[in-house]
Structure 1
Amino acid sequence: MKWKTLESEYISEHIYFTARRDRCQREDGAIIDPYFVVEMPTSATALALTADNKVLLVNQYRHPIKKVVLEFPGGFVDPGEDFATAMHRELLEETGYRFDKVEWVGRVAANPGVLTNYTELFLATGGVKTQEQQLDHNEEIEVLEMPMEEFLEKVRKQELVQALHVSCLFFALLKSGKLAFTG
């Protein structure tokens, strides 16, 4: 069930948002035109736990939904950068915390019907604040340390709305053994 790309035309080219219009042909011969695709780099995010077992979160304004959103730290992986190295870097830049261990727990595609990228998911443990934030020019991030019980209450109230971060929480809990399926 693979499609053949007959033509591609780039509509927008930017390091974080490249859009193209494809003309595709399915195996049964049907032509799909247009099919829009957004190319984005790989990203990474982590359920980050401090040395005293608090959840490290960030609050930041997300312009597309016009809200300040509670999230896990994370960001884009630089070209040629190892995923774990990128996660360590993003944690340090966004929060000022270094982590003893950053363990890969999974990978998800946010919207594979439109977006080309994956997000690598991590569980970071043993975090200690070692420096001030080093934010990008377009970032305005408030760092929060939250007891696990308070964080889980926010999850229950659906205050963690970033789907990639909810996925990260799920996979981190599975990896840690704190979530198991029976049946």
Structure 2
Amino acid sequence: MTELTWKTCSSTYIHKGPWATLRTDRCEMPDGRVVEDYYVLEYPNWVNAVAITNEGKVLMVRQYRHAANIVSLEIPGGVIDEGEEPLEAMRRELLEETGYQFDDIELLNTVYANPSTANNKTFCYLAKGGIKVQEQDLDEHEHIVVEEYTIAEVKKLLANNKIAQALHCTGLFYALMKLDELR
């Protein structure tokens, strides 16, 4: 098999922040060519979940996303805190964003948002049997509206391009496949 992996010769940090870090790498390709400035965005890893309540409703969250200047309909999720396991982060995010507790949570897939420029991955889950146990417990800069949809309504939203967040579309499609709902 042909070797495709690059060797990182050096890394220089340009910016380090709580949500994103930018570095430039000097790399050597397998054939010896050198890439002088390859920019890499470092982000923490993320989780998201297709969350289905005890009543069979899919929980979605609507919130403003400043970088794209859109109000986005999404599945619940967020950043994995340092030292936190992905499943633990998913339980926490579901509780914080929706007020629902889920005991039946299954990993569907792991994907990279953009592996050409960013190093983080997203763990996508299917959470079933959610029960409302508290009110939302949002971070300082979060304003999230929780909405409930049937599976048929979610499929229609996807078909009509009403869910803009690509990682969330991915999680939804994997969940629909797992639930045998891709018809």
Identity, % of aligned positions: 46
Q: 1:28 aligns with which of 23, 28, 31?
A: 31
The correspondence of residues 6-85 of structure 1 with structure 2, limited to 5 A, is 6-85=9-88
Give unpaired runs (5+ residues) of structure 2: none
2:123 corresponds to which letter in structure 1?
Answer: E
Which of 145, 155, 159 is 1:156 aligned to? 159
Distance in 1 between the 2:179 and 2:156 partners? 19
- Amino acid aligned to 1:25: E
- 1:146 is aligned to 149
Matched, 1:117 2:115: no
Give unpaired runs (5+ residues) of structure 1.
none
The C-alpha deviation readout for 1:67-111, integer Å capped at 9, x for no partner, is 000000000111221211110100000111111311111100010
Partner SS for 1:65? coil
CA distance in structure 2 between the aligned counterparts of 1:9 and 1:21, rounded to whole angstroms: 5
Aligned letter for 1:51?
N
Report runs of 4+ in structure 1 exceeding 6 Å deviation. none
Q: Which of 144, 156, 170 is 1:167 aligned to?
A: 170
User: TM-score w.r.t. structure 1 length?
Assistant: 0.94
Q: How far is 1:176 from its partner?
A: 2.5
Q: Which residue of 2 aligns with 1:131?
A: 134
SS of 2:67 mapped into structure 1 = helix
Distance change (3 Å), C-alpha of 1:35 and 1:109: same
Report the number of matched residues: 180
Q: C-alpha separation between the residues in 1 aligned to 2:132 and 2:29?
A: 52
CA distance in 1, matches of 2:157, 2:177: 19
3-state SS in 1 of match to 2:88:
helix
